[in-house]
Structure 1
């Protein structure tokens, strides 16, 4: 009896989207080197969109694979681990190296990258045993998006003025970035639960009100994209903490304890 040959090869479209997202991360690193922090932040957010697309395409075309899972994790570490860490350090921390150890060293930068790597590794080994509706720990793309959107918001509003006085000085902005980097690092390696968007059935009929609501959201985002993006991702990051409040926890659906499958997304 002839043994069946294992099929070799990769699913082209999801892999191309994953590689494109990783190249956005590489571009962001190069942009930071050229002191173009706005483009670096935009590149990270574009990588976030591509990261969502590759998972959606893989599910729609039934082209999920173990190779895709590992490739996605490696790409995520570049685009959402290394790139935002370098961006935060070069834009906000490096100019104020005399403010103390937390600002002058690479501790926050290294911690963010390490936490992102731990988060991705933990996701890969638990992917078959967790409720796919939830993530354990803040997903690394969301953590990177908080940093990138904060940079964009502050770059577009470099001097927030209140009664003709600067509301946020450069030093305060730098301190806020350090706090954000530390917070995102700890949330990534925490055991907090975050709702996943993978359970949304885009192929099924949805209420008309949902379409109207999404249209309204698009208009709001278009009016102030950097501010809305920063608020959205910040609220999502805080959601894992908020859901621990007993009155809120009682009204939220609880994750399943038995395996339900699911591969993509970290």
Structure 2
């Protein structure tokens, strides 16, 4: 350990080291701001589960979408305030498992999958297992894959497809039992796509800090305006299109190689 001259104050880095070993001390505190957003996302996911069990399917679906927004904010807030931590990363993954793994499966099961007995809970389990494996694989691949792409369908997008299906069905007051088998297929397919090797655009290469033409801002405003007309249907169609984009792009690349 480097000895400092007498009466010279210790730097913050030296104060964080154990004087006997010279190693950095493990911080016992956690950053509050980003973890508040993560906690709010976790609460929204838990609320979705309770609402789905009580038959409030519209509220349950909306709560899952709220979790998506909060999940996107916690990471950005952590990077903007330089408060990233290993604790925050692990806490975020556990919250995602509840909000985008367990919650959508249970809401879909309560809405219609329960009417087809074993097939219903099997489809729900495939989705939950897919979400768990997707998050575990994502955590192990951080820093070793191309940031422009996700390998497998991101769990928030999969949750949006399942929650959007329930939201649209509730909005149009359809009989869930009539759509139990298509719903089971969609839920299971979303689970399998999460653990697939299909590439999805992450849009992380988009520069949100740079300047853009005025027409781009106008287009964004128009998109929000159109979505506000029928948010349930349009949000579901947007995420459904994103879900299908991965297999379609993979098929296109396979055709080019075969040509």
TM exceeding 0.5:
yes
**Cα distance, 1:69 vs. partner?**
1.3
Higher RCO by CA contacts (8 Å cutoff, separation 6 or greater): 1
Deviation digits for residues 104-136 of structure 1, max 9, x if unmatched?
xx2111111111000000000111201122111
The counterpart of 1:206, out of the listed 204, 212, 226, is: 212
Give the total of aligned pairs.
236
Contact in 1 for aligned 2:227/2:235 (Cα 8 Å): yes
**Cα distance, 1:247 vs. partner?**
6.4
Higher-Rg structure is 2
Q: How does the TM-score come out when normalised to structure 1? A: 0.83
What is the alpha-carbon distance in structure 1 between the residues aligned to residue 36 and residue 230 of structure 2?
31
**Unaligned stretches of 5+ residues in structure 2:** 2-18
Corresponding position: 1:78 with 2:98: yes
What is the alpha-carbon distance in structure 2 between the residues aligned to residue 170 and residue 30 of structure 1?
19
Report the CA distance shift for 1:33/1:247 in structure 2 as closer, same or farther (over 3 A). Answer: closer
Contact in 1 for aligned 2:45/2:98 (Cα 8 Å): yes
The counterpart of 2:110, out of the listed 77, 87, 90, is: 90
Residue matched to 2:180: 174
In angstroms, what is the RMSD of aligned CA positions? 1.8
What is the alpha-carbon distance in structure 2 between the residues aligned to residue 109 and residue 245 of structure 1?
27
The counterpart of 1:116, out of the listed 119, 124, 131, is: 131
SS in 2 for 1:244: helix
Deviation digits for residues 220-240 of structure 1, max 9, x if unmatched?
101110010110010111111
**Cα distance, 1:85 vs. partner?**
0.5
What is the alpha-carbon distance in structure 2 between the residues aligned to residue 223 and residue 56 of structure 1?
28
**Unaligned stretches of 5+ residues in structure 1:** 160-168, 251-266
What is the alpha-carbon distance in structure 2 between the residues aligned to residue 150 and residue 64 of structure 1?
34
Q: How does the TM-score come out when normalised to structure 2? A: 0.86
